[in-house]
Structure formats: structure tokens, C-alpha cells
Amino acid sequence: MRDSSKLLLATIAYDGSAFYGSQSQPNRPSVLGSLRNAFACCGLFGKILCASRTDKGVHALRNVVSIPLPYAPKNLDVLRAQLNKHLLPHIAIVSLHIAPSGFHARFDAKARLYRYIIAPQKPNVFQSRYVHFHDVCDWERIARAIRIFEGIHDFRFFAKQSEKNTICGMHKVRAFWWNQHFVLSFLARGFLHSQIRFIVQALLLHGSGRLELAELREQLDATKRHTCELAPPNGLYLCRVYY
């Protein structure tokens, strides 16, 4: 049964390279650990719920969290500024709202948009935490192949072995160029642990001629696993959660 008390809904952005993931980690910096400390400084001590978990090194432009609201803030903009004093430079509250009655940050999400950013130019030490530097011979090959991941599939060979239910669907999958970067875009209601990084690495192998389209299809059909490599986390961004 859902809690009927009021919730504070925060849209957050963070630099994943500063944390060991979004979930709390013993004796290690985490996004939720930092949020818990900042909320406590403003008199908010309830359980924080997160719309989407992210791994170590994965970034977010607009993740969503909620926390019980024991008092009525006079001004949400003032509260946001107070929170950001404790969170910056690695986390920023983008916006604050009072959530609708019965809202659940995770289960009410209709879709999540992730994007993976690849830079084909020479590595730059000032960008290495935020893009994956990789030179691929045939980018068009990747753009064509990525479409096969749309729809409902058994992603058991594109997920961690600990996953129990690996049948899930992707609404829209695309590849495009943006500001001299190659972007792989994935829209789905939910994702398996490391699913996108498995897919991205397989696509990069395909673009380099080391994995054929037929082999990609075999792995997607869960008949044969040809690669179990993970793309680095630094190129992955949670861009938006849709409600």
C-alpha cells in the first residue's frame, strides 16, 4: 500500500565519475549518500526513492528521486538553492516539485531514455570521464544494426547472469551524430543491469568488423553468445525519465 503523505520530487543531474554508483555504498561515495546528507541538512530525513539506478561512472542529466516531506516549504526555489550548496559540484538539483498523491518515483515511470556518447577523435584528458573515445571503421554499419534491438526480446546474453527475468522490450533505438560525437540512444520502460553497455560493446565490435550482423542476431535471439564484453561506463547518460 502506498504512503499517502506528501513527497518532495527532485530532478537531479550528476557526474557519475565522482561516485561508486547511485546506490549507497559502505565507506564509498554514492549519489544517494550525498543526497541523504544534503536533505538531512534541510530537515528531510525520510527514505529516498530513485527512478533509475546507475552504475559506477554512469552520469545522469535528469534522474528523479523522491523523499517524504514533513513540512510545507515556503519557497521551493530557496530550498533547491540550499540543497545545491551541499551537493555541488558533482550533483545538482535541476528542479523541485510536490509529487501527486500516491506517486512512486520508480514504478510510475513510463519510460527511461539513456544515451551513450562516443568520440571518434583522439583522446582528450579533459573529456575522458564523459565520453568513450573509440575509432570505428564503419559508423553507418552500427546505425543500421542498432535497429534490431527494438521490440521485445530475451536479453539474457546482454545482461548480468544474476538477472532472473531477461525478457523485455525497447521502444526506440537510434544512432546519430551530434556535435562531432556519435550517439547511441535507447528508450524503454526499464533496463537490465548493464544491458546498454553490453549492447554498445557488441555494436562497436560489429562496426569494427569483428562481429557480424548474423552473430548479433544469434546473441539477441539468445541462441549463442559471441561477446560478453562491457563498454566503459563513462560514455553512458541517463537523459530523462518519463511519467
Q: What is the pLDDT of residue 1?
A: 37
Tell which residue, 143, 145, 142, has the closest CA to residue 207: 142
**What is the average pLDDT score of the chain?**
95
Work out the percent of the chain whose per-residue pLDDT is above 70.
98
Whole-prediction pTM value?
A: 0.94
pLDDT at 150 over 60: yes
Banded pLDDT at 63 (limits 50, 70, 90): very high
Rounded CA separation 38/36 (Å): 6
Q: What is the pLDDT of residue 176?
A: 97
pLDDT at 128 over 60: yes
Please give the average per-residue pLDDT across 25-46, as a whole number: 96
Q: What is the pLDDT of residue 4?
A: 46
Q: Scan for cell 498523491, then name that residue.
A: 101
CA distances to 5, 58, 197 from 128, rounded to whole Å, are 43, 13, 17
Q: Assess whether 154 carries a catalytic annotation.
A: no
Q: What are the pLDDT digits (tens) for 158-216? A: 999 888 899 999 999 999 999 999 999 999 999 999 999 999 999 999 999 999 999 99
Q: What is the pLDDT of residue 100?
A: 87
Asked if the peptide bond before residue 120 counts as cis, ω within 30 degrees of 0, the response is no
Q: What is the pLDDT of residue 3?
A: 44
Please give the average per-residue pLDDT across 58-80, as a whole number: 95
Cα dihedral: 47, 53, 58, 60 (round 10): -70
Work out the percent of the chain whose per-residue pLDDT is above 90.
88
List CB contacts of 135: < 8 A, sequence separation 6 or more: 120
Out of 15, 55, 108, 154, the active site residue is: 55
